[in-house]
């Protein structure tokens, strides 16, 4: 502000010299300069007061995404078995056992931002509800690329579980089928 006032005074001095105000005496010129300086200072004070009274928008997110994600997951898991089956096609205890199986066999790991439980729930929602990556990304406040990446990670992990959960059938035919004339012709070896 002081920088502006000095140049303003120099400008007034220049104007007075160029226009040859010989008629005005020094008291009038001094009073005119002082009036201009007071005007500039008053304008500066008004601008400073307006900035001081301005309402600033805080630089924090309007939505706490982590809390919203946890609330959404808890709403799926804690509103009863029926609601959970409708949302992810699995009861909560089965979900926890699946997460434990993936963790204990070191097939799937938590990351800094996404837990195993959240990864598996996202996977189950996409597979079980036929939801698109874009709609899931809006629910979990993640990019479509992030949702796609975690979907692929969980898909590969679930495919690795087949070695532990699925056994090849043996060549023996159960006695109830072998002794029944109705079924045995279809199972002859």
List pLDDT tens digits, range 82-113: 999 999 999 999 999 999 999 999 999 999 98
Tokens of 136: 């899931």
Please state, for a pLDDT cut of 70, what percent of the chain lies above it.
Answer: 79
Please give the Cα distance from 150 to 109 (Å, whole number). 11
Of 178, 179, 180, 176, the C-alpha closest to 189 is 178
pLDDT attached to residue 50: 83
Q: What is the pTM of this model?
A: 0.59
In this prediction, the residues of the chain whose per-residue pLDDT falls under 70 are 1-12, 14-27, 60-61, 184-189
Q: How far is CA 156 from the centre of its chain?
A: 25
């Amino acid at each position: 502000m002081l920088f502006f006032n000095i140049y303003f005074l120099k400008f007034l001095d220049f104007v007075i010299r160029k226009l040859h105000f010989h008629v005005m005496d020094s008291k009038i010129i001094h009073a005119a300069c002082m009036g201009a300086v007071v005007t500039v200072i008053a304008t500066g004070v008004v601008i400073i007061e307006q900035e001081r009274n301005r309402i600033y928008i805080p630089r924090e997110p309007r939505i706490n995404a982590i809390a919203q994600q946890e609330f959404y997951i808890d709403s799926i898991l804690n509103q009863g078995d029926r609601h959970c089956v409708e949302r992810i096609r699995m009861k909560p205890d089965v979900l926890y056992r699946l997460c434990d199986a993936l963790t204990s066999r070191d097939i799937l790991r938590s990351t800094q931002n996404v837990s195993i439980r959240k990864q598996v729930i996202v996977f189950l929602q996409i597979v079980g509800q036929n939801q698109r990556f874009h709609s899931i990304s809006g629910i979990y406040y993640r990019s479509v690329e992030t949702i796609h990446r975690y979907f692929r990670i969980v898909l590969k992990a679930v495919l690795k579980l087949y070695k532990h959960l699925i056994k090849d059938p043996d060549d023996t035919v159960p006695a109830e089928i072998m002794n029944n004339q109705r079924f045995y012709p279809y199972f002859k070896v």
